[in-house]
Amino acid sequence: MNNVLIIGGSRGIGAAAVRCFKENGDNVIFTYHKSEIEADALRQETGALPVRCDVKFSDSIKVAVDKAVSEMGKIDVLICNAGIADFNLITDISESRWEEVINTNLNGVFYAVRHVLPSMISRKSGCIIIVSSMWGEVGASCEVAYSASKAGVIGLTKALAKEVGPSGIRVNCISPGMIDTDMNAEVSDEAKAEIKDETPLGRTGSAEEVAAVMKFLASEDAAFVTGQVIGVDVPRLNGVGGGFHIRSSVAGRNPRLTIS
């Protein structure tokens, strides 16, 4: 049984992860930012404890980490899943919006890792799982901020795995393709069809399928897996499908759509 802290667990992939680890018999605490109703419903459903947290701020994450340690004794598995999307031409992104995306998607991971790592290092044991995106690998037109932030966490994963491997800590990254979540709810049917055509299995994925990969990475079955970027049926688009995805859907999408 592991003690699991999920940063960004009230909806989508995060909520699926909460359910998956609770069903596995693990202790789970998850954070949320604005989705209080969803977080409370998930608490009632699973028994997992929600903690409000704004990942843009280190002090807020420290409070969540301290709460998790207080409740569970230690953190065996850290999952960094919180993120926001932005759909704009780079010339239309304000500096404040750019900073918000980077602070949430990249700096938030740094803050969480920094606060959790000392106790993992002292125990010479731990598992960190970071959620990126296929756009962090191939880039997406009109999603420069999002793509840059998700590419950043891939680099963070690979470097951190080398840094903390001697302390017995594993660090891996999951790179989901098109997953049926709130973030992708407003993508046009035409755009989804194009992505499906580029996806080997010819369909979109589910949040539960991503959570299952998380469970594997946190298990002893993955004891020799670290520094990896694991695609969950990610189409290797080389930027072509990414461009179509945004051109065909950006006008109909909310540029401030968030997940937490």
- Report d(CA 90, CA 80) in Å as an integer: 26
Type of residue found at 33:
H
Cα(195)–Cα(218) distance, rounded to whole angstroms? Answer: 29
- The residue annotated as part of the active site, out of 21, 135, 146, 244, is 146
**Annotation marks residue 146 as catalytic:** yes
CA dihedral 3, 7, 163, 144 (to 10 degrees): 160
CA distance 194 to 187: 11
* Bridge partners, 17 (sequence order): none
CB 63 within 8 A of CB 7: no
DSSP of 26-75: -EEEEEESS-HHHHHHHHHHH-PEEEE--TTSHHHHHHHHHHHHHHHSS-
Catalytic residue numbers read: 146
